Amino acid sequence: MDFIFILILTLTLAPYHSLYYGIEVRKLRRKFLRFVVPSVVSMWVYSLYTMVDGIFVAKGAGELALASVNISMPFINAFFSLSILFAVGTSTIAAISLGNNEEGEANKVFTMNMVLIVILGLALSLSVLLNLEKVAYFLGATNSTIVYVKEYLGIISAFVVFAMLSYYFEVLVKTDGHPKLATFGVCVSAITNIVLDYIFVIKWGYGVRGAAVATGIAQMSATLIYIFHFVKRSKRIKFVKFKFDGSLLRRTLPIGAADFITELSTGFIIFLFNRTILKYIGETGIITYTIIMYINSLVIMTMAGISQGTQPLVSFYHGRDDKATCSYFLKKAFKTAGIVSLAINIACMIFAEKISGVYIRSHEAEILKYSVRAIRLYAPAFLVLGFNIVFAGFYAAIEKPLYSMIISIGRGFVVITLSMFFMTRLLGENGIWLTSFVSEVICLIIAAIIFAKFYYKDLFEDIMEEDTGIYEGE
């Protein structure tokens, strides 16, 4: 019923607005595609960093080394989520400021938050390097994987600043009106990563160390491309001198909180699954979950790309108090997420064996067979999670962070933990693979209720008032 409810809302909102307000639908559709497609491509590339690492590590160093990359993922998600926290908040404020012709404010928040990212990145790198073994064991390393985890984690942590800045700059380049450059930067980074992975892991046999170095250098290359843009080419958003403004930071953090929690929760979920899998299945289950995690990461990144590509547009028109256009972009985001979700789910059902075979060597027949079954059990979650991410992103874009946080905390921490607890007790190890679907459905019901109660009602009332004014004026 919740799917029907959402479809009714999203398929009726935009046509109503177009009829009464004469929105140039084709122009808005092109604008939507111009921002969303590069954003999705960029997020795919970020997913490819770890997916490509996994492929080369699995082929060059074996399944235990592959599992060690998975064990390290919560740390990667942690610092990446901090980058998202600042990037989304800064992008929203900068977009609203540009919509109000306040370029000085946009430049100030851009520069100030960039400096804060550098400080946080350096602090995080130093903390991990000084406590490497403790962090590795905390993340779930075992006696079989500790060496691999330490090697991968130690090198990745040295590049944290570049990883955070590359994403922050990529989002702000799009806000600056250059989505193609953002895509170019991440594509250069992806190609660099793939080439260096092949050289370091396969040709030179450096294993997980080579994969980590390749990823770090790739992120550094993207960062340098974006810095050149802001220093030499940008006409609107630039580096400026600033004084620290606590009010801007207090405005930035709540806006980016939903996407921050979404990404951070990915790391938490991996941590939760790894711990539960070790308890119920063992290290073999970690190898299977690593494959599922890569697929899940790609799906989440795709949906985050749709959401974050839409956010600057929604924020810009929100700054102009144009609710009709904001609602049109919400509809387009929902329809895009729905189509992509269905395609991914079908692909997982049909090609589960081929996907597993990319990471698992042919002689590991039992692990391969088990992984195929687990992927098919997990896949229905992909049908649902995109709607939750779009809901959360939309509220962040219109500066309603409380609603975003309710959705994001629910799906990323509270509901997923409770679902894991009950599903494993009801169904054992099968419950592990069904947990995400149950959790996402519960959160979608909550998100739909919030939408109907706190946004759709207010929007409808505003439209009716404005329509009355139009006809009275005639």
Give the DSSP letter string of 244-292.
--HHHHHHHHHHHHHHHHHHHHHHHHHHHHHHHHHHHT-HHHHHHHHHH
In a domain, 474, yes or no: no
Domain that holds residue 444: 2-465
From CA 71, how far away is CA 137, in angstroms rounded?
9
The pTM of the full predicted model, rounded to 2 decimals, is: 0.76
DSSP 3-state assignment of 141? Answer: coil
Helices H / strands E in the chain, number of each: 18, 0
Tell which residue, 127, 190, 125, 129, has the closest CA to residue 161: 125
pLDDT of 183 over the 80 cut: yes
Name the H helices within 25-62. 25-61
Name the H helices within 100-178. 103-130, 132-139, 146-158, 160-175
Number of domains in the chain: 1
In a domain, 367, yes or no: yes
From CA 462, how far away is CA 302, in angstroms rounded?
33
Share of the chain above pLDDT 90, in %: 45
Position 406 scores a pLDDT of: 86
pLDDT in tens, 324-380: 788 888 889 999 999 999 999 999 999 999 999 988 877 788 889 999 999 999 999
Name the H helices within 360-428. 365-378, 385-397, 401-409, 415-427
In a domain, 473, yes or no: no
Q: At what angle do helices 146-158 and 207-228 cross, to 10 degrees?
A: 20
pLDDT in tens, 412-434: 889 999 999 999 999 999 999 99
Six token digits for residue 59: 């082929």
Per-residue pLDDT band for 200 (boundaries 50, 70, 90) equals very high
From CA 453, how far away is CA 445, in angstroms rounded?
12
In a domain, 376, yes or no: yes
Task: Give me the torsion for CA of 134, 140, 142, 144, rounded to 10°.
Answer: -110
In a domain, 472, yes or no: no
In a domain, 470, yes or no: no
Largest CA distance in the chain: 78
Is residue 306 within 8 A of residue 339, CB to CB? The reply is no
In a domain, 309, yes or no: yes
In a domain, 471, yes or no: no
Q: How far is C-alpha 364 from the chain's CA centre?
A: 32
